Structure 1
Amino acid sequence: MTMSFPWEVGSATGVGSYPGDDPDEALRIVLGELPELPHLPELPNRGPGADLTGRTAGMLVDLPVHLQPSGWRFTDRPGRDLRRARDHMARDLDVLEELAGRHDGPFKIQACGPWTLAATIELRNGDRALRDPGAVRDLTASLAEGVAGHVAEVRRRLPSARILLQLDEPALPAVLAGRVPTASGFSRLAPVEAATAEHGLRQVIETACGGDAAFPVVHCCARDVPYGLLRGAGAKAISVDLALVPDRHDDAVGETIDAGVGLWLGVAPGTDAALPALKDTAAPVRELWRRLGFPPTRLAEQVVITPACGLAGASPRYVREVLKRCRDTARMLHEAAE
């Protein structure tokens, strides 16, 4: 099989979030530590509007939100909370253009996927949007249009870059299994059929990435990642926490690799921890590949090394340490396969 990925062989990248509240400093770290595949950092410690849900809600078209004690909720008109979210994004894009405007390689941006967004944003009456299929359809259409606009804006700021769009879907397995709690917390919302979930995710991917506007990646740092659904929705790479990939998922992971889909493996904790020797960080990746029986030369082409999840809860010292470890692990795996 002939495969073509937008990243260089032996690449590493970050998942999304970083500690602190300075977008200039965070992006400089990303560009310095992840030169092969940098990304736009998210800084949720800045407060409301910089979190995963609020940041993406700021992209929605004609669906304003505001912040309640229970979380983000749809409202009739834009207000201060939505302006704050959009101001954060505008500042990030200005910094991006200033520091990386001449970048001519792959560059990743992130947004919340439709099912995690529907599981976290509330309707006006306080129920989760996921409860109302009509609301989910409206949300998905609005998100698709909004993310497409975001991709276009990033492409304008980085005219020579190849854009990768990562959709974060940590709640998708819970949505499919009927484990998302109701607003009261005393019950669970009904499970969403896999075909419905695939259709919604595909709508966002096709609208935002169509015409080669962006290379679609889906990140799911939960157990029971629905690999087949994500491939069916159009994901060309799937990002997971390697520690949460059990042996019983070997068939699904193997089918994903065999289909030519990229596999992004989180190999190091997202919060401060004592890292083992470099060879021990790489060992689970090698073991997975050996178990699945694929040629070693494909590993460094198809696999990107990442932290297990976002780094918002880590110390600045650990951020640099773990990003360097991911980069060194990717290079070691590449050199070993040559």
Structure 2
Amino acid sequence: MSEYPWSEATATGVGSHPGEDHLEAARVVFGEVPALPYLPELPARGVGADMIGRSAGLLVELPVEVQPSGWRFADRPGRDARRARDHLVRDLDGLEEVAQDYEGPLKLQVCGPWTLAAAIELRHGDKALADPGAVRDMAGSLAEGVAAHVATVRRRVPGVTGIVLQVDEPGLPGVLAGTVPTASGFARLPAAEPDIVAQHLTTVFEATDAFPIVHCCAPGVPFRLLRRAGAKGVSTDAALLRRRDEDAIGEAVEAGTALFLGVLPGTDVRLADIGVIAEPAQRLWGRLGFPPATLAAQVVLTPACGLAGASPRYARQALARCREAAVVLREDPGE
């Protein structure tokens, strides 16, 4: 039996989709990447459907609202928080309808505690990242909300055999480097301590029995830190990987960490042949010195990032092309 919830030669998406039709987005996902479908996100619907607002709506006893500067903690739940919850409930209704007879793994996406902390402001205006106590409380609150969310999905879609929990942390490299601007924009917040970063990620990972992966589509993905925190997979843009990252990637692969490699753009381009799309994963595997036979099990192909900025036609084609290219990973290059 595989140590991963998915089968060999699998593809999936990162999460976001264009448009506002949640039912159509779910149908596209289950039709084009049936080996590892996911709950799509539609940020074009506005407040509460965006990455920050959607996950802030999961926070337990930490209400949020939208101010001109962005999301901010509030004294009590208001219209903006309700809107985020309504979007999610509607999406879950659609998921339940589309996945009625589905059996297999399912991927869910939530924004991670550090990217949330770098985006949500405290009541007095500073970003939550400036207050270690606030970050700690938010990580615990998020963990509780994520546990409830996963339980709800399991109840609504009883055929799910395993959940992959994708924790989106595009802001994490900036948090570690100390490049996140203050609320005023005139200064930078101090770099977070790696041990504390790992600790709060672990809090979220361990809240459920889901298979935790971290998605980061920024340069400088901290592979070793993510492994230490308990991530069982890392999702990233293959084009942003640097040669100096490869020692850490090799250590992760050797330890069994899955790689979700973004191999085509998230916005409309002319799509290459499937062999060309699969090539970055094959080349990386070869440089790392791992046997081709393990590639299709440990690597999942995805677009480089979310598809919210793409046309609906391209979004469908991109997922289909990832699915077709994933089959190439299973082929023996010697044949």
What is the TM-score of this pair, normalised by structure 2? 0.97
Task: Tell me how far 1:333 sits from its aligned partner.
Answer: 1.3
CA distance in 1, matches of 2:100, 2:188: 46
Residues in 2 aligned to 1:87 and 1:159: alpha-carbon distance in whole angstroms? 22
**Mapping 1:41-120, distance limit 5 Å:** 41-120=40-119
Tell me the distance in 1 between the aligned counterparts of 2:298 and 2:199. 26
In the alignment, which residue of structure 2 is the partner of 1:246?
A: 242
Alpha-carbon shift at residue 3 of structure 1 (Å): 5.7
Matched position secondary structure for 1:335: coil
Amino acid at match of 1:317: R
* Deviation per residue, 1:81-129 (Å, 9 max, x gap): 0100000001011111111033210100100000001000000111110
Task: State the number of aligned residues.
Answer: 333
Q: Which position in structure 2 is the counterpart of 1:180?
A: 180
CA contact (8 A) 1:57 1:65 kept: yes
Distance 1:325 1:160 in 2: 26
Question: Structure 1 residue 279: deviation in Å?
Answer: 1.8
What residue in structure 1 maps to residue 139 of structure 2?
Answer: 140
Deviations 1:127-155 (A, max 9, x none): 11000011111111100100111011011
Counterpart code for 1:10: A
2:268 maps to a residue whose letter is D
* Same amino acid, percent of matched pairs: 62
- Offset at residue 49 of structure 1 (A): 0.1
Gaps of 5+ in 2: none
Number of the residue aligned with 1:126: 125
- Which residue number corresponds to residue 6 of structure 2? 7
Whole-angstrom distance in 2 between the partners of 1:3 and 1:182: 45
1:164 is matched with 164
1:203 paired residue number: 203
Match of 1:35 in 2: 34
Q: Which residue of 1 aligns with 2:323?
A: 327
Q: Return the alpha-carbon distance in structure 1 between the equivalents of residues 330 and 318 of structure 2.
A: 18
How many Å apart are 1:278 and its aligned residue? Answer: 2.1
In structure 2, what residue type is equivalent to 1:96? L
Aligned pair partner of 1:276 in 263, 269, 272: 272
Following the alignment from structure 1 to structure 2, what is the Cα–Cα distance between the partners of residues 200 and 79? 27
- Following superposition, which runs of at least 4 residues in structure 1 exceed 6 angstroms of deviation? none
For residues 282 and 92 of structure 2, the distance between their equivalents in structure 1, rounded to whole angstroms, comes to 37
TM-aligned CA deviation for residue 205 of structure 1: 0.6
What's the TM-score, normalizing by structure 1?
Answer: 0.97
Aligned to 1:190: 190
Structure 1: which 5+ runs fail to align?
Answer: none
Q: Report the residue type matching 1:106 in the other structure.
A: P
